[in-house]
Amino acid sequence: MRIETIHPKELSSSDCERWQAHQDADAALASPYLSPEWARLIGAVRPDARVCIIGDGDGYFGAQRLSRFAAMGLGAPISDYQGVVGAPDIHVSAAALCRALKVGRIDLTHVPAGQSILAGAATHSEGSWIAQTHGGRDLYEAALKLQRSEFVRQTNKKLRKLERDYGQVSFSISRDRADYETLLAWKRAQLQQTGQPAIWDTPWVRDSIDGCFDSQSPRFGGLLFTMRIGGRLAAANFCLRGKSGLSMWIIGHDDAFETASPGVQLARWVIGWAGDNGLAEVDFGPGEYRYKRQLSTTQRMLEWGAASGLSWSGTVRQTQYALRSRIERLPAPKLAALPGKAMRKLDLMRALAA
């Protein structure tokens, strides 16, 4: 199968239309991180961004080419989905994509389960947490109450207590730059406290999220949701909007209201807003966080792995995964977690460098 590789800025309007049609036909591919708009956004800030056009628009695959040895999914590490967007029966070999990108391997995370590019090479799978909203707010709330009645009761109780103690609680969509900067400051402080890299301050990452904040497109862009308590900003949630859903992206809150779970209160309201506005789902992404389990109604399976043909680079990566897998089976939890942490940190450093 013929594969043409271009920079995202070279995408034609007909390419974007075919790409969007593939997304519209398959809910598993509807994420805004898999859209042509995302490809163009990342392409505007990363010269190493590439799009592989498969056949005559039968499929599209975005990547960033780090070196002749390896590429990563487009937008890593800030993209919650990566993979081929194409017809349901499309089969694309990992080797063919590597040849098209002129790399030894492609390191991938968050690939919708079952894609041929990771056939036999997926090393890990995990569910992305989804709140289904296609039936509207009332249907979602009814499903949530049926599944987690105690959680709903406690959340409602905390909200009533907030109103008694501090005054009016309000939720809204904000276009205020000050609210946006406050959220990023909260996130920066959180990363510092936990010893993590300041991802959102990396120039190309910051340019990407700023571009999303400034976008007003109904099909793609950033939406900043806020919660105020007595007029004071208590929580903020920056989401990436696609045609049919929202992806939770950056979440933060004022620690002064920690006991009232303001982030959870806001996320629940955001889900209701999505239902009221005709969106099908709110995607929290993968990760074993309690609030995601509490607010979701289903999961979508995603896979990790290295897509490669016969290459030295691919062999090295597969050996690393095999060693990691053996160590993770050890009975000592702290020791078992070390290889995964080391690989994730190294991948993060590689991805953040443009």
Query: pLDDT digits over 81-106, tens only?
Result: 999 999 888 999 999 999 999 999 99
Q: For residues 84 and 92, is the Cβ–Cβ distance under 8 A?
A: yes
Q: Tokens 């056949």 identify what position?
A: 55
Splitting the chain (354 residues) into consecutive groups of 10 residues, what average pLDDT does each group show? 94 96 94 97 96 96 94 93 92 93 93 91 90 94 92 94 91 96 94 85 94 88 96 96 95 92 96 96 92 94 88 72 67 65 68 73
pLDDT value for 121: 84
Residues 6+ apart with CB under 8 A from 247: 31, 32, 33, 80, 239, 240, 241, 282, 283, 285
Query: What are the domain boundaries of the chain?
Result: 3-129+301-349, 147-279
Q: For residues 210 and 202, is the Cβ–Cβ distance under 8 A?
A: no
Q: For residues 64 and 76, is the Cβ–Cβ distance under 8 A?
A: yes
pLDDT value for 216: 76
Residues 6+ apart with CB under 8 A from 143: 132, 297
How far, in Å, CA of 112 to CA of 102, rounded? 24
The DSSP 8-state label assigned to residue 105 in this structure reads: E
Residues 6+ apart with CB under 8 A from 89: none
Q: For residues 281 and 244, is the Cβ–Cβ distance under 8 A?
A: yes
How far, in Å, CA of 339 to CA of 235, rounded? 35
How far, in Å, CA of 31 to CA of 44, rounded? 20
Which two three-digit tokens encode residue 331? Answer: 């009975």
By the 10 Å C-beta count (0-12 exposed, 13-18 middle, 19+ buried), 173 is classed as exposed
Q: For residues 101 and 52, is the Cβ–Cβ distance under 8 A?
A: yes
Asked if domains 3-129+301-349 and 147-279 share a fold, the reply is: yes
How far, in Å, CA of 134 to CA of 125, rounded? 26
Closest C-alpha among 142, 114, 111 to residue 128: 111
How far, in Å, CA of 98 to CA of 311, rounded? 10
How far, in Å, CA of 8 to CA of 65, rounded? 13
Give me the architecture of the 147-279 domain, per CATH: 3-Layer(aba) Sandwich (3.40)
Four-residue CA torsion sign, 130, 136, 137, 142: negative
How far, in Å, CA of 93 to CA of 267, rounded? 39
Instruction: Determine the residue type at 211.
Output: G
Closest C-alpha among 226, 232, 225 to residue 167: 232
What are the helix (H) ranges across the chain?
Answer: 13-25, 36-43, 94-101, 137-147, 149-166, 177-193, 203-214, 262-276, 290-295, 312-328, 333-352
Domain 3-129+301-349, what fold? Aminopeptidase (3.40.630)
Closest C-alpha among 100, 98, 113, 87 to residue 299: 113
Which two three-digit tokens encode residue 258? Answer: 């920690």
Closest C-alpha among 39, 46, 48 to residue 81: 39
pLDDT value for 328: 65
Helix or strand run (H / E) with residue 57:
none
